[in-house]
Amino acid sequence: MIGQEIIQGTAPSIEEEASVSFISSILSNSAPADLTEVEIDPSGLPAPEPVMKWVGGKGKLVSTLTSLAPREYGAYFEPFLGGGAFFFSLRPSISSIGDLNADLINLYSEIRRDPYAVRIAADLLCSSHEGDSYYYRIREIWNSSRELLSPVVRAATMIYLNRACFNGLWRENKRGRMNSPVGRRPDGSTRPMCPPLASLASVSVALRGAAISCADFEAVVAPAKPGDLVYFDPPFIAKTKTSSFKSYGAGGFTDDDQARLAACARELASRGVRVMASNADVPLARELYAGFRIHEVSCSYSISASGSSRGNRDEIVACAGWS
Ligand SMILES: C[S@@+](CC[C@H](N)C(=O)[O-])C[C@H]1O[C@@H](n2cnc3c(N)ncnc32)[C@H](O)[C@@H]1O
């Protein structure tokens, strides 16, 4: 039963145990006694969509990215997965996806393994929501003790916080603490809607052919072969000094990382891997991706040939490795 499995690992402090027992009590109140894996019938499921609204999410750019992608490719690699908008739209049969955010990778692994169990726990957390103080209590448990939660409860808690937070937008500060304030629906209510089981089940099916890793981008794309497609959507190069913090959590993606990424993209393309790399349209990005085909993407998310002056462009997609 979810409530009994909630604490994992060894020797939590009394305070930590007391805090996670709040989540435990919510889940053990009404969770079914027997949570076994259910067989999913993929026919009739809706198209998969991102579970998490993520900073830098590519939801509005999916059709642009699709128009830029090669028509054919072998395996698909996306090492800065985030919310995975492009991945879920492509639904590649063989893929390798990754992100450095361990909570996000746990979420995808758990949804793939057992969307039913994740849904039940997330729904209980959402339906027990009583107002702002409930949200802030769970957010504090998340920030102080989430490593004590079992993987499925950790995944469900991430969904609850994402659905209940302001604008549904997950943000972490430099110390890796989730810091989004509580959100409000148009009717003034703060109780979040849990994603339906069918949505999580379709995400689970979409993840079936994927190798999922919590790793640096270089490790994820290392096995790519000629004819495979790699899409890089890293934290962007800052347009201004004040925008350098990207809200993806602890650490950061420095200019040295950007140079390491561009060198990796160049090496992949040189051996016939098809590469697409998004970034901010700033001089450093143009310098790092010199020699790639540069597509400018406007705020309205249409594209134009490099060098023309249509629209308000602020992103580029650099492509190489195929003609
Ligand atoms: C711009 S977001 C990706 C957004 C995603 N394409 C979407 O549609 O939601 C960048 C992601 O890169 C991850 N990241 C940061 N540094 C990384 C690294 N060195 N290797 C792999 N992932 C990293 C962050 O955790 C974040 O999820």
pLDDT at 29: 66
Listed in order, strand segments (DSSP E) in the chain are 76-78, 95-98, 210-213, 229-232, 274-280, 293-298, 303-304, 313-320
pLDDT at 1: 44
Ligand 1 midpoint to CA 260 (Å):
15
* Contact status, residue 124 vs residue 27, Cβ threshold 8 Å: yes
CA distance 136 to 140: 6
Ligand 1 midpoint to CA 236 (Å):
9
Q: Which residues lie closer than 8 Å to 250 by C-beta, 6 or more apart?
A: 172, 174, 175, 176
**Which superfamily does CATH assign the domain made up of 2-40+105-201 to?**
Adenine-specific Methyltransferase, Domain 2 (1.10.1020.10)
Domain 59-102+208-320 has CATH 3.40.1280.10: no
pTM over 0.75: yes
Ligand 1 midpoint to CA 233 (Å):
7
The neighbouring-strand residues paired with 98 are 213
Which residues form the pocket of ligand 1, taking CB atoms under 6 Å from any ligand atom?
54, 56-58, 79-80, 82-85, 99-101, 216-217, 233-235, 248, 253
Q: Name the residue ranges covered by the structural domains of the chain.
A: 2-40+105-201, 59-102+208-320
pLDDT in tens, 35-85: 555 667 778 899 999 999 888 899 999 999 999 999 999 999 999 999 999
